[in-house]
A = this chain, B = another copy of it.
Amino acid sequence: MAKVGIKDIARIANVSLATVSRTLRTPDLVQETTRQRVLDAVAASGYKPNRMGMNLRTQRTGNIMAIIPDITNPFNAGLIRAIEEAASNLGYAVLLGDTQSSPEREKQYVDLVEAGQADGMLYFSGRNPFDFDPEKPIAEQIPTMVNSNEELDFDGIDKVMLDNVQAGRDAVQHLLDLGHTRIAAITGPLNTQSAQSRMQGYQQALLDAGIELDDKLVIEGDYQIDSGVEGTERLLRLKTRPTAIFCFNDDMAIGAINVLKSNDYRVPEDMSVLGFDDILYSTYVRPALTTVAQPVEEIGRICAEKLIARLQGDESPPEKTFVAHKLIVRESTGPAPK
């Protein structure tokens, strides 16, 4: 492409570089007639200010980095869509850091932000990629960021979180209300805060109902469909089986239902299945999934807007925003069998 730069415009419009820049950035500062001359030249030549020069001079890129474990997970995809929507409205573009949960990739993308390839980042992992000095103020040692989904173990940054303990309780309570007493859980990775919290809620609800905890009913999954499949197969081999399975996300619940049907179980008559996230497909699976909905659009929007507000000078103290979950009862849960 034949590149036309600010110099060319200046020459054509017979003004200085400064005036061209001002016409584009702060039109008020330049006289009507001059401005028009510049604008004509810009229009005629199709000039677009070069972002690299602009970025360097202004010390901002207009990019935000979203660091996320796996974009093929529909929940994450929804998140990214909401983020990109909000960012786009505010004039920012989204750099995608899909890490496949690899700590190295997480670090690599954080490095990129620290090198100034993006102005700030949204961090959807619980692993701390920094080694900062806890004595000194954190804000001066790390890039501007918002943390969500998995909670980092330090304060001083904005966070957007779900009350996973309560969500876990609510899910299990729904099953208890239906008369279930042997309730299994297929969890997320237990080294994550979200899975731990949901687990905690699961245990609290059972204990409150006077039900003894049973290790065998808890199976660690990894949020992939396959681990829902394997977990359910293991549960079906137990001597005393559960009557309900609480899966820590919808994908695993879909895997669970699949196995159950293959083994001629009716859902929910013979076994109830409860999911988490409320992804689009949970409505279209048969039976439609009872699930704990996360407000994915809201989470994505708040994350992006909060980060960008910070980038634009918001200096209010970092805050932890809670978003509300909601139990959506559909067809995959029902009364406990006799």
Contacts and interface: CB of A to CB of B under 8 A. Distances in A.
A62 B95 CA distance: 11
Contact of A56 (B52, B261, B280): B52
A80 interface: yes
A105 B141 CA distance: 36
A115 B48 contact: yes
Contacts of A85: 98, 100
Given A78-B72, A95-B93, A258 B286 contact: yes
A70 interface: yes
Nearest to A61: B52
A278 interface: no
Nearest to A108: B88
A321 interface: no
Interface size class of A (residues with CB under 8 A): 35 or more
A50 B141 CA distance: 16
- Which interface residue of A51, A94, A112, A285 has the most chain B CB atoms within 10 A? A51
A154 interface: no
A115 B81 contact: no
A168 to B, nearest CB: 24
A129 to B, nearest CB: 13
Nearest to A228: B284
Contact of A143 (B1, B98, B114, B142): B1
B72 A98 contact: no
A63 B53 CA distance: 16
B284 A258 contact: yes
19 contacts: A1-B141, A1-B143, A2-B140, A48-B114, A49-B115, A51-B112, A51-B115, A51-B116, A52-B56, A52-B61, A55-B55, A71-B81, A72-B74, A85-B100, A93-B95, A93-B96, A93-B117, A94-B95, A95-B95
Interface of A: 1-2, 48-53, 55-56, 59, 61-63, 70-72, 74, 77-78, 80-81, 84-85, 88, 93-98, 100, 105, 108-109, 111-112, 114-117, 140-143, 225, 254-255, 258, 261, 280-281, 284-286
